[in-house]
Structure 1
């Protein structure tokens, strides 16, 4: 009954056999949805009902339980819920359908649930064909891309994604249309039935969802009370809340009555199902690349959570120790169509049978992207998301008004900890600008005073001293000031990214940039390393600040990686307060124009092939193998406002044949970077090595389609300003809790005035935002650039101490710091969501705030699950 016909194994290539797909998952879960138990199912699952008396674990098992046993057991349906659903299904006295349904539930196939272990589950990417896409979805996606390419007037171009906020006439007309639809629906008997089912489901969800004060506290020895940290699934076994995570009494905001008021039932159903599907797609991409996905959202979607936590290698006591590298495997690596394939032997290479490592093929990726593009242009979904986002902001304002003093009292009673001594991570900073302008000036003067006759460059076989470099520039370092250094951004760089890039050249001289801010030069990047180490020492002295600087790999040559690893080790750049991210500038067109690269495929090969070789044969690449232990992710950087004439689709040429001088579009870059990172992560996971996160710059400028691409491929993003222009994407980023590193001071000089920055708005709504500096050399004045960022935000937006500590906690969660470090800085249970994951003694974030955030997210997610449950109940009553 719960199966659908499956193609024979011979009809599906082994490399494409999928553990599940979103639609199939939902189809098979619907019967269980009716009883409030959301569950994912595929050929690996056998669905049965069970009870504690059967010797099976009730409820959704924890990660520990899953590791101990491959079985996952659905909870026994509670009697009260069963009776209410029986009454709903029976309607006006007709019990036949309800009796048949209850008979089905009591039948043998529903007695228990078992499942193959995670180790046996194939990790292959579900393949989709473009022919499976609804024609309307495809056309809408093409329309979005076409509008972007035509660069129409900004208001018209954005009308696809936004709702009329500043146009009273448009708002009035929209409200009148909605009113007419609601009046028509009121006369429909079918709508009345559906509203009745919604009311029944919603009342049950709210009764389980809204905790009493006793739910969040009580002695650990007491009988467990229902905890909002447990997913709101009827029948799930409640978990006790340990005493350290107790939540003081506070005032909650609840909404009663017809929660569909202002939006028709049809629109609500359509929006909820579409949003749930988008979240399922996001989860699929995150799961297979070992990116993070929130547990609460996954549980509401009904999926068993697989462990996607990046593996962490034990860091050696000596950070520069080249011993103890794993043995070589001798695998072969070849690039085909822009993707690197791994072969176990030469024989496998000849037979074209690669090692089984998942990645999304281009057609599948464009299909999934089309679904999200169609979603952001869907009228009912835009309206629904716009209303929910307005509600979230208003709800936080009410919470702040009612509980601000309670939160402050909680923080005052917290010993030792305050804003200054909670950990903060600069989640987005470029290494070449990690120092402020005064630091750079002081370093230049110091080197000239202490070693003016040192050979620092070689030109046409002639060696050049530091004194000769400055003589050729006709300047004396003694006369230099921060003004003449001219590295600080100002009003002249606003919407002028070309002028901003020139600020990386001190006094406008590329010779000084090569000498002081590069890792590859005559000195082996010594001066740059010394400055980075000085910045690291300042972080270590502050004790509570950490940083994730970006280092560049351009893809011009495969020797870039060994050179960067050599720079790191020989100059001893390691610091316990720094983790490194590799940024890849999107400047293929410049390299192609200079004949440095034959194709875009060669650029990808230069970026990723050395990493595969160091993973497969670490004994032969000891320096790079060691350096990768301190690299946490990849970034894609450059001016997003650059226009591309190419429309990305499944018909786009492969990187091997992209030989033109035109730069590929943003989505093209992201897809091929993500696909190779996914293959690499799965290979490294097999070897027990650390994995990488994809953390691109996104949403600072340019097209809204950039944020769609990042929604699929990125673990977290930097900037995200354009989310303000798309209510659908903004709401999806909220539901998926995608981390966003925001840099208001940087944006103020380049793209958006500080007062218009949406960071405060995003924080109030509950998006997972952190503060970062981007480029202290260009935007900051003090040596503590991150504290400068927090201080200005607090003053301009009147942020409370709890707000600042919440942002700081978010920054640690978003970062690539190790599991052990996060436990030390945030608490033993930091990976849990809600108050259970917050140790106020370490984070100084009020438990009241954490409870509010968690309950609000659960409430929003319950709207999606309620819509899916109601659809099946309505179908059974017809």
Structure 2
């Protein structure tokens, strides 16, 4: 298949060309920038080189130093030796090998995904041309301004059509005509995608497995249990934690020293990039919850608009078939002639609703499809949530789709440089995969700026109590059985949705059931035999069997030239719960989840703040393997960090209860200083008091204002969000200049499994991260591995 090509322009006709003024803006070469009185050059003495390289900390200086600023060459990109000088593997090497074994066998690594092969993977819709802007795209202007063909249909220039035909690209009777908003996805046509799919994937789409065959291939948990216990035994050892504590402290101090010596050099390098700054580099929010993707203000404005435009529209039907008009749901079914008579103010959704929605609706009715509660305030809340924040209702999710298009998709496309992976909660109802993919394609929730994640909850006990499942095998069947059915293979709506799914996430919250009654043994109990009414399986039990089913799913899709999905896991906030995965070990659920993430999950740790307070050895391991960590400093979930206890005297004088929510308690900046792959996410703007129309920019802005972050710091966060995202390899190459093809330039190993190579010597003009910062990060990581392989105690080495 031919390599993906861009059109010259979407705004100009074929006979037109870019102006010379526009061409001059191409960042082909960087220009020299003069020094001013704020720029200083660090000394180049032997002492300075020793300090920057950390020599006095652990290595004897041999009189030879590398230049502080050195050109990236092939000699810098040599692979690390896996053995130390004694020919022994260190404990970190073995853990990395175990991680690579599980991820590669389940096809989660980057090389196993066809979507990272820019020559064979097909993108639909095709990439937009360079210099595309929302307000310059003639397709997205008002109707009277659009170019009209002779047959009366808008001219879309072939961008959401097949390469073979441009016909039937527009349907005036489409349901999306009800959503009168301009965005690129409104020109999406499922028939054109199906034609592309049959041409590219069809000849390869022959590998099929029956669900019985899949279940028969699931491995027992014993081997993973042994690996888990082996890893745990070393991560809690006194020797390793003592070593890790010193190394973490050293890395923190070394970064501060680096900033003192090279901070102005980074500023100067940023000035040498003429066309990039923080605002016009791509940034991905990797965990943007669909259930909270709009702010309270936006939701209220939308509800008030609909109340004024269509108050008499039927929007809700209860379980008995009774119909409710829009205005009636706000006054519990009573008739009212006006909004004033119904006592509906501008704040129809207040703080009481948000609390109920977060603590009652989302963990209960939202996941399990329960009937509406008894009449009263909760019933009013239920009807509001079902009407405006659900896709499966009597309106086919029209209001929710319009909310997503207006406040998420259109906002992202206007900004151009903001992207998100929207995380949707999996609901345990019949045919959820087909219903949700039908909603996506019906309302054309399609955009270059969004991809999808599917979020699972540890809700087995709630489902069992509701009679939805009888065993843990039923829980797994609800998720995976539809994906292996013959119906799924031929359903183009589902196939399109799956082509945009990046991750499968397991959520672990304080609301998960914890107390056991029967105390079943996870090591010897199969999912079909796990039928305890109150015993919620441990996190490791959930993750292992999810990984096993994802493994079979990924292998099937990879063989059919389709994208696999990867796993992610939330770190629980509570530190008081003891792990129940294996008898005889005394660790918390937090540590259990962190180890599971290391072994089984490719795409990072969600809600990663607890990592900072966990075992130092675990934190150091995440650094050495460069496992992505996703944090949300502004989210109400992540800012609930406990303050240090005050003195006894202060406690006597102060009789008030201090709030535990404070921004500076979030450890993301310390983790970034160490060198972890930190990604910022806005998580759920409905609950975190977002006051702007751009929540991800607000996230970065607050961090920059409080911690006085410079452009290099912000662009490093942003670049991490692209490199570790679920976007296709074509976009990563275009936005960051990286690929999986080996080159002589800089190499970054992400997660211990994926090696991404720069495709040219200097890629800073794409992402604006100074080369000095990137070389510093690489040098630090190289030296830490060198130290580990030379200086670790003999009891942490293996032949």
Q: Which TM-score applies when normalising by structure 1?
A: 0.63
* Structure 2 residue runs without a partner (length 5+): 1-55, 126-159, 161-187, 367-376, 576-588, 643-661, 749-756
Would the alpha carbon gap of residues 639 and 648 (structure 1) be closer, same or farther in structure 2, given more than 3 Å must change? farther
Q: For residue 628 of structure 2, what is the aligned residue in structure 1?
A: 739
Deviation for aligned residue 1:619: 5.0
Residue 730, structure 1, aligned to residue 538, structure 2: no
Deviation for aligned residue 1:433: 0.8
Q: For residue 842 of structure 1, what is the aligned residue in structure 2?
A: 766
Deviation for aligned residue 1:230: 2.6
CA distance in 2, matches of 1:733, 1:431: 28
Deviation for aligned residue 1:315: 2.5
Q: For residue 316 of structure 1, what is the aligned residue in structure 2?
A: 124
> 1:819 aligned to 709, 729, 743, which one?
729
Asked if structure 1 preserves the Cα contact closer than 8 Å seen for 2:424 and 2:455, the reply is yes
Would the alpha carbon gap of residues 203 and 335 (structure 1) be closer, same or farther in structure 2, given more than 3 Å must change? farther
The count of corresponding residues between Structure 1 and Structure 2 is 601
Please list, as runs of the form range in 1=range in 2, the aligned pairs for 1:472-511 lying within 5 A after superposition: 472=332, 476=339, 479-482=344-347, 485-486=350-351, 509-511=381-383
- 407-416 vs 699-708, which moves further: 699-708
Q: For residue 533 of structure 2, what is the aligned residue in structure 1?
A: 661
* Structure 1 residue runs without a partner (length 5+): 1-198, 218-224, 236-264, 294-305, 342-353
SS in 1 for 2:455: strand
SS in 1 for 2:285: strand
Q: For residue 667 of structure 2, what is the aligned residue in structure 1?
A: 758
CA distance in 2, matches of 1:830, 1:849: 22
Asked if structure 1 preserves the Cα contact closer than 8 Å seen for 2:288 and 2:682, the reply is yes
Would the alpha carbon gap of residues 850 and 287 (structure 1) be closer, same or farther in structure 2, given more than 3 Å must change? same
Please list, as runs of the form range in 1=range in 2, the aligned pairs for 1:332-481 lying within 5 A after superposition: 332-335=209-212, 340-341=215-216, 361-459=220-318, 460-472=320-332, 476=339, 479-481=344-346
CA distance in 2, matches of 1:685, 1:366: 27
CA distance in 1, matches of 2:520, 2:122: 41
Would the alpha carbon gap of residues 502 and 682 (structure 1) be closer, same or farther in structure 2, given more than 3 Å must change? closer
Residue 532, structure 1, aligned to residue 380, structure 2: no
Q: For residue 230 of structure 1, what is the aligned residue in structure 2?
A: 78
CA distance in 2, matches of 1:868, 1:697: 31
Residue 833, structure 1, aligned to residue 747, structure 2: yes
Deviation for aligned residue 1:543: 0.8
Would the alpha carbon gap of residues 748 and 732 (structure 1) be closer, same or farther in structure 2, given more than 3 Å must change? closer
CA distance in 2, matches of 1:696, 1:665: 13
SS in 1 for 2:90: helix
Q: For residue 624 of structure 1, what is the aligned residue in structure 2?
A: 494
Deviations 1:386-420 (A, max 9, x none): 11111111111110111101101110121011111
Q: For residue 505 of structure 2, what is the aligned residue in structure 1?
A: 635
Asked if structure 2 preserves the Cα contact closer than 8 Å seen for 1:599 and 1:655, the reply is yes
Deviation for aligned residue 1:502: 9.8
SS in 2 for 1:316: coil
Asked if structure 2 preserves the Cα contact closer than 8 Å seen for 1:488 and 1:777, the reply is no
Asked if structure 2 preserves the Cα contact closer than 8 Å seen for 1:698 and 1:706, the reply is yes
Deviation for aligned residue 1:423: 0.9
Asked if structure 2 preserves the Cα contact closer than 8 Å seen for 1:279 and 1:732, the reply is no
Deviation for aligned residue 1:446: 1.4
Would the alpha carbon gap of residues 385 and 675 (structure 1) be closer, same or farther in structure 2, given more than 3 Å must change? same
> 2:596 aligned to 705, 709, 713, which one?
709
Asked if structure 1 preserves the Cα contact closer than 8 Å seen for 2:108 and 2:566, the reply is yes
SS in 1 for 2:747: coil
Asked if structure 1 preserves the Cα contact closer than 8 Å seen for 2:569 and 2:593, the reply is no
CA distance in 1, matches of 2:733, 2:207: 37
Deviation for aligned residue 1:645: 4.2
Deviations 1:163-202 (A, max 9, x none): xxxxxxxxxxxxxxxxxxxxxxxxxxxxxxxxxxxx9x97
Q: For residue 276 of structure 1, what is the aligned residue in structure 2?
A: 93
> 1:795 aligned to 702, 705, 712, which one?
705
Q: For residue 609 of structure 2, what is the aligned residue in structure 1?
A: 721
* Structure with the larger helix share: 1
SS in 2 for 1:706: helix
Q: Which TM-score applies when normalising by structure 2?
A: 0.69
Asked if structure 2 preserves the Cα contact closer than 8 Å seen for 1:506 and 1:513, the reply is no
CA distance in 1, matches of 2:361, 2:87: 46
Would the alpha carbon gap of residues 411 and 402 (structure 1) be closer, same or farther in structure 2, given more than 3 Å must change? same
SS in 1 for 2:419: strand
CA distance in 1, matches of 2:96, 2:307: 56
Q: For residue 17 of structure 1, what is the aligned residue in structure 2?
A: none
Asked if structure 2 preserves the Cα contact closer than 8 Å seen for 1:515 and 1:527, the reply is yes
Deviations 1:581-626 (A, max 9, x none): 1111221211211112222211211101212236xx6553222112
Would the alpha carbon gap of residues 684 and 309 (structure 1) be closer, same or farther in structure 2, given more than 3 Å must change? closer
